[in-house]
Structure 1
């Protein structure tokens, strides 16, 4: 029997299938991607006409090291998106007992199981037992749970005593990353960082792993030459070094998150959770809310593990905010 399809955000084909009479254009709030993208710089034709050089790749990784606070650019490995790294790591490590702190991003469990590892999803770190590998998403997707750096360092030490490893997915840490491990990275820990979510450029397909230099080199060899395209390198280098844009975007999206919370709170059973880039609503009315929004051309994220949850990305325009406010106001009246 084939494994059930994993639901992801951004699937407007599914939205149109479920709600064929919904008005166009759809407002897609189903992802956790910054709706105000980094302004794409003009890209010279040469980036499309030649292979990127090793020097270009090293400069990209140096820019990421600066942005994320890594001690050495050699610890940073550029890849065509963090999803590729999520799929690659279980192949590189020997078959092990893997614990994943959940509920969380489902591709982690899928990748480890697919590579033949024994996977257990746990609800608390106390349940990790004698596993060989611990996987944590921090801040967590979708509920935004944020573990303190000290807690994760303790886990790295505990697993390290028996030769185990810690994998921390910090996909949403750029705007919610006070507890990042990058600057204090233990030898047995790998951290993943996403580019597209923060910069609103998911189609660029760019992500990074941060690891001890020996394992970082193993990852580079596994990815092979030219794993990141020349245009992606150019956009990435410029954006990662634009600290003023990142700080302004963080402040603006935090204000948007507060605005969205105010709209969701009357429908929620408890205060919305999540991260700066998306908000999570817990409600006994979630199914009705999802359908009402869908019939009005607004697509939000459902979850297979809990039908009470809906994830809302941030609207990216005044018109999107107006439509969302109008549709939610109808539900408030009901």
Structure 2
């Protein structure tokens, strides 16, 4: 039995909605509402066959082998049309589960996916060897979205090995710049551990809809069977093969992100913003009234993300260049000044 859910969860990137409410055109806006890299991997021209033909299993296998090498996996992952598609299917991995523990607050789609299947949610504060839960599944985003909290590999290993009867799912959507955190090399060899990796966030290609899931063969087959044939498009496979084969371009992307991260941090600090969490792709900020600051920034055509679960905080993505960083600094100063008593 499934449960009808409420309205869709709000996510970042809803620029058309912001334009409808506050006006302007897309080029006039500075969209900092997502944790997606503002820089996209340069792409070559691809053969027309990439668009014309259905992808073959040999192509899928090759890309998954390249992904295994790129992410440091110990088993070959399965390719999925965005990790959101895998999140939708997580309940089918443990069809008899009655409760799932989710390190919270976090990305809301984990909870929504399990609630659709009438599975109870246990919102836990952390995942480590001391965690106590009756749930047969534990879900963790590492680093966490939206606050950037990090869970060490030792803590995840401690929990997974002490709780071998529980399935542990780690979403590493924001771990591309943190090889010290990734559990991709343990997923599959630890049979109760699953790791999900997002392709689009780091490579600035979120519209491609591509991700990878590392899991032991039985669980991987459940996901593959649910996804069906040709789950990932030929163009997505070709772009991933290109990206994973170009270490030089990956290095350039890292340098650009590091520079943008430093510029954004400096802009927020100079504007007097309290940064209480971060990853390499976003900052989590204490601003007093998140919704009010979001609206004030939007009135200047700067888009950020606020949260119902943490109403005093907002998430801000990376400013791509110095002009954008200055604009963020000045509009944030105006917004914060508008919240202070006169």
Same fold (TM over 0.5): yes
Distance 1:304 1:131 in 2: 25
Q: Does 1:214 align with 2:215?
A: no
Distance 2:27 2:232 in 1: 35
**Once structures 1 and 2 are overlaid, which stretch shifts more, 223-232 or 86-95?**
86-95
Higher helix proportion: 1
Q: Quote how far apart the aligned CAs of 1:231 are.
A: 0.4
Q: Quote how far apart the aligned CAs of 1:225 are.
A: 1.2
Q: Quote how far apart the aligned CAs of 1:266 are.
A: 5.1
Distance 1:132 1:65 in 2: 28
Distance 2:289 2:14 in 1: 22
Partner of 2:65: 62
Aligned partner (choices 172, 175, 189) of residue 173 of structure 1? 175
Distance 1:190 1:121 in 2: 19
Sort the Cα spacing of 1:61 and 1:306 in 2 relative to 1 into closer, same or farther, 3 A. Answer: same
Partner of 2:81: 80
Sort the Cα spacing of 1:23 and 1:72 in 2 relative to 1 into closer, same or farther, 3 A. Answer: closer
Q: Does 1:203 align with 2:204?
A: no
Conserved in 1, the CA contact under 8 Å of 2:273 and 2:287?
yes
Partner of 1:14: 17
Distance 1:198 1:23 in 2: 22
Q: Quote how far apart the aligned CAs of 1:127 are.
A: 5.1
Normalised TM-score (structure 2): 0.90
Partner of 2:258: 254
Distance 1:228 1:2 in 2: 27
What are the residue-to-residue correspondences of 1:16-55 with 2, within 5 Å? 16-20=19-23, 25-55=28-58
Sort the Cα spacing of 1:4 and 1:221 in 2 relative to 1 into closer, same or farther, 3 A. Answer: closer
Aligned partner (choices 236, 241, 244) of residue 237 of structure 1? 241
Distance 2:297 2:25 in 1: 9
Q: Does 1:224 align with 2:224?
A: no
Sort the Cα spacing of 1:56 and 1:208 in 2 relative to 1 into closer, same or farther, 3 A. Answer: same
Q: Quote how far apart the aligned CAs of 1:193 are.
A: 0.2
Distance 1:312 1:279 in 2: 5
Distance 1:116 1:165 in 2: 18
Alpha carbon RMSD of aligned pairs, Å? Answer: 2.1
Distance 2:219 2:26 in 1: 50
Q: Quote how far apart the aligned CAs of 1:22 are.
A: 8.3
Partner of 2:121: 119
- Residue by residue over 1:31-56, the C-alpha shift from the partner in whole angstroms, topping out at 9 and shown as x without a partner, is 11110100122121111111111100
- Residue by residue over 1:119-171, the C-alpha shift from the partner in whole angstroms, topping out at 9 and shown as x without a partner, is 121223355422101000000001111111010011111221xx211000000
Q: Quote how far apart the aligned CAs of 1:248 are.
A: 2.9
What are the residue-to-residue correspondences of 1:149-160 with 2, within 5 Å? 149-160=153-164
Q: Quote how far apart the aligned CAs of 1:293 are.
A: 1.3
Distance 2:335 2:192 in 1: 49
Sort the Cα spacing of 1:268 and 1:115 in 2 relative to 1 into closer, same or farther, 3 A. Answer: farther
Distance 1:171 1:35 in 2: 16
Normalised TM-score (structure 1): 0.92
Structure 1: where are the runs of 5+ without partners? none
Partner of 1:194: 198
Structure 2: where are the runs of 5+ without partners? none
Q: Quote how far apart the aligned CAs of 1:28 are.
A: 0.9
Partner of 1:94: 95
Conserved in 1, the CA contact under 8 Å of 2:122 and 2:133?
no
